[in-house]
Amino acid sequence: MGMYTEIKVDCIVRPVDQVSLDALRIMFDWPGPGSHSPRQCSIASSFSPPDAPLFRCARWHSIGRCGSAYFDAEPSSKMEDLGDGTWRITSISNLKNYDDEIGKFFDWLRPMVVGIAGQVIGHQWYEQERHPTEVRL
């Protein structure tokens, strides 16, 4: 067994290419727990991940969708097309962070975030910690 870490994402991104947008859609563009949108399934079936450390982790696709009994919040994710090439991502989920998937995710995401230095773009919260750790741009 392992320990769970909650990940919260709340930011606006400008994906650098179609592959990055597809990866974000696989993680965050879904209608609810245990379900998959037709668009998401068609993307996932032909997806070749970017060459980044995150995508060498077996559980990268769990970000945005997995949950456990250790955290009260049900997994929830949403991607909203803002119409100008940017997308708002709001998500909360948790997973076993064995390969530092969460740190690698934020490292991959940061260059795409539209914001200012120091802005909070999410948090991670290890189940045995009293408070979450903010993740900043």
Stretch among 13-22, 27-36, 87-96, 116-125 having the lowest mean pLDDT? 27-36
Tell me which residue of 110, 102, 104, 125 sits closest to 54, measured CA to CA: 104
Backbone angles phi, psi at 109, to 5 degrees: -75, -40
* Predicted TM-score (pTM) of this structure: 0.88
pLDDT in tens, 43-100: 566 788 889 999 999 889 889 988 887 788 788 999 999 999 999 999 999 999 999 9
pLDDT in tens, 28-40: 986 654 555 545 5
DSSP 107: H
Domain boundaries, given as residue ranges, for the chain: 4-136
